[in-house]
Chain A
Amino acid sequence: MTAYIIRRILWGLLLLVLVVAVTFLVFYLLPAANPAILRAGRNANPQIIATITKELGLDRPIYTQFWIYVKNIVLHLNFGFSYYYNVPVGSLLLNRLPATISLTVGAAVLWIVIGIPIGIVSAIKRRTWLDRMAMGTALVFVSAPVFWLGLIALLLAAQTIGVFHVFPGIGSYVGLTVNPLKWLESLLLPWMVLSATQCAIYARLVRGSLLQVMGEDYIRTARAKGLTERRVVLKHGMRSAVGPLVTVLGLDIAALLGGAILTESVFDIPGIGRLQLDAIGHSDIPIIQGTVLVASIFIIIANILVDIAYAYLDPRVRFE
């Protein structure tokens, strides 16, 4: 197991190098927005641009640029320097990470706590009005894009523009360490919006997974033992049904930690996603590379964690 994890981490590192290389190549091959020109400002002349190009190292061959970039990250944890904000990318990422983590973790808790029980009830009460209603609602939320849902939610319930003045509106995010109460207040609406779709997906996933498991022979055995139906479902059924859930959960959380671009944009939450979107607008390549790298790291870590969770949940899974 330990050997397996070490090997997975090494593969993960190699994968990160590849991701960085590919992002590098993409921006090298698509010189639509020359960062030197952008940085030179309005009164640019070729001389200034040439100077900036030299300053940023853009005149060197791509492999040299790549080598310097990777070396800085590995040796100095230096992710480069933002063209636009004029600050180290590393500190920008660190600044923005708490908001993204707050948004993701809160929403994940919400969709797990709500989505899974709905899925279980739907599976047990299959083909009843309860199941149909739950799955109908789920279909609506699965189909509703987050940015649309977010705007509707704001128009309905934001203190600024809403019909009912319940929740703080756009741009109200406050850090947890600054003011915990305001932090909670400002995130309630984004959490609900972000978790609505996920709730629906998880409810459907749990329902499907549980329905399949409930047809297994060992469920019949559990019933033949005289267990209550509640115990049959929650212990014997769910134990098997959580497998697929863990996979999806790991990757969903990782993907959101890499930047919940839509939700962060609609509610103007200063997270990684917002940073990334702005950087794309500014052709701020070091930031884009930094955020891609962070997202990749999350995905790779999540993959390894999911595999470990799998081995823990299912004794038949063994690593060689």
Chain B
Amino acid sequence: MSSAGQPPGTLLSVEDLRVEFATPDGIVHAVDGISYSVAPGGSLGVVGESGSGKTVSALTLIGLTQTQGATVSGRIMFDGRDLLAASNAELRAVRGNDIAMIFQDPLSSLHPQFRVGAQLIEAMQVHRDIKRQAARDRAIDLLSLVGIPDPRGRVDQFPHEFSGGMRQRAMIAMALANEPKLLIADEPTTALDVTVQAQILALLERLRRELGMAIIMITHDLGVVAQIADHIAVMYAGRIVEAADARRLFSAPQHPYTWGLLRSIPTLEGPRGIELVPIPGRPPSLIRRPTGCHFHPRCAYALPDHKTIDPRLVDAGAPGHVVACLLDADQRAAAWAALRAGQSADEATAAAGIADATIAPTEVAG
């Protein structure tokens, strides 16, 4: 298989992906021209609020939005193949085989009326010619690999007999059944207790290292991606507004939305007494999006012309770091320095020298 049209050393590259749904209320621009790439064995974190297009973009990778009536354009190159040009049968051969996916709620994502083992065996038998007994043995091995105690006894149980963390482990085991090159994890820890969350993340990280499998981690929680992702893309209203190496994104974030995400999670390392600050307002409608910068109604740093100018991703001063923000680099640096020192958004706008010019967020959360 040739990898024509795909940069060497990448497993997946997405270019200008757009996904739209026609609804009675209008066209939903769920994903609006996003591009990213993932190296073999690499990990990408996709972060954003609900409705920012994270899940839709992931489902589109394996062809599951197209069948639900979405209009898709752009290019998805995976392992030398263009998945958007692939037929249904070709996509089906990729799903659960080369690209596997796990979901947010492991209880509702496993079929309640089939035994866990049967669901794993089915995952194998779809894609390979394997005898039931051999598949069953492998199912037991997989359950053991993901850290389920007594896999021999567990393989014949039903999902409701598993605890939440065990269910997600079973989902992961099912995803691993065909040794995928890429695992898409869609909010895999959101429905779990914090201690279990950490275990699942550690498991995913271990599997990535041991199996050389790439991971796309979709989450609204920057804390989660910090543990697992090499590279992070922040999505807002169907677009990537900032992307960078994980380290760089946490040390020098450039987009006010990323600042908002960072300031809304507690840290142990930072100075004590820093207040957690929610991002005011709600994610915008994807049918009638705000003009100009889509984030301007919620942005404390928006200037009058940000209502009309639509920002594009530009270089943000480090390799692989891009941002779609209309402030200039000095203003962003000054504002983030102020925020990082524990100052408020008002003080940060003053530091950036735009205090008198900003337009107040039109909607502020109470």
Do A226 and B105 touch (CB < 8 A)? no
Nearest neighbor of A316 in chain B, beta-carbon distance: B160
Do B93 and A226 touch (CB < 8 A)? yes
Q: Which of A218, A228, A229 is B109 in contact with, Cβ under 8 Å?
A: A218
Residues of B close to A217: CB separation below 8 A: 103, 105, 108-109
Within 8 A of B (CB), among A218-247: 218, 220-229, 236, 239-240
Residues of A close to B100: CB separation below 8 A: 224
Do B105 and A225 touch (CB < 8 A)? no
Within 8 A of B (CB), among A197-214: none
Residues of B close to A316: CB separation below 8 A: 112, 158, 160
> How many angstroms between the C-alpha atoms of A62 and B126 in the bound complex?
69
Quote the shortest CB–CB distance from A176 to chain B (angstroms).
Answer: 37
Q: Does B261 make an interface contact (CB < 8 A)?
A: no
Q: Does A59 make an interface contact (CB < 8 A)?
A: no
Task: Flag B169-185 by CB within 8 Å of A: 1 or 0 each.
Answer: 00100100000000000
Do B92 and A220 touch (CB < 8 A)? no
Q: Which of A216, A224, A313 is B62 in contact with, Cβ under 8 Å?
A: A224
Task: Flag B155-175 by CB within 8 Å of A: 1 or 0 each.
Answer: 000101000000000010010
Do B158 and A226 touch (CB < 8 A)? no
Residues of B close to A315: CB separation below 8 A: 112-113, 158, 160
Quote the shortest CB–CB distance from B3 to chain A (angstroms).
Answer: 23
Q: Using A217-B105, A217-B109, A315-B158 as known contacts, say yes or no to A223 and B114 having CB atoms under 8 A apart.
A: no
Residues of B close to A222: CB separation below 8 A: 111
Do B122 and A240 touch (CB < 8 A)? no
Residues of B close to A216: CB separation below 8 A: 108
Quote the shortest CB–CB distance from A319 to chain B (angstroms).
Answer: 15
Q: Using A216-B108, A217-B108 as known contacts, say yes or no to A226 and B95 having CB atoms under 8 A apart.
A: yes
Q: Does B57 make an interface contact (CB < 8 A)?
A: no
Residues of B close to A218: CB separation below 8 A: 108-112
Do B97 and A226 touch (CB < 8 A)? yes
Do B113 and A240 touch (CB < 8 A)? yes
Residues of A close to B110: CB separation below 8 A: 218, 221
- Of the candidates A222, A226, A227, A316, the one having the most CB atoms from chain B within 10 angstroms of its own CB is A226
List A residues at the B interface (Cβ < 8 Å): 216-218, 220-229, 236, 239-240, 313-316
| A-B pairs, 8 with minimum CB distance | A226-B96, A226-B95, A225-B96, A217-B108, A218-B111, A315-B158, A217-B109, A224-B101
List B residues at the A interface (Cβ < 8 Å): 62, 64, 67, 92-97, 100-101, 103, 105, 108-114, 122-123, 126-127, 158, 160, 171, 174
A sample of 24 inter-chain contacts (CB < 8 A) reads: A216-B108, A217-B103, A218-B110, A221-B103, A221-B110, A221-B111, A224-B62, A224-B100, A224-B101, A225-B122, A225-B174, A226-B94, A227-B96, A227-B122, A227-B126, A239-B113, A240-B111, A240-B112, A240-B113, A314-B112, A315-B112, A315-B113, A316-B158, A316-B160
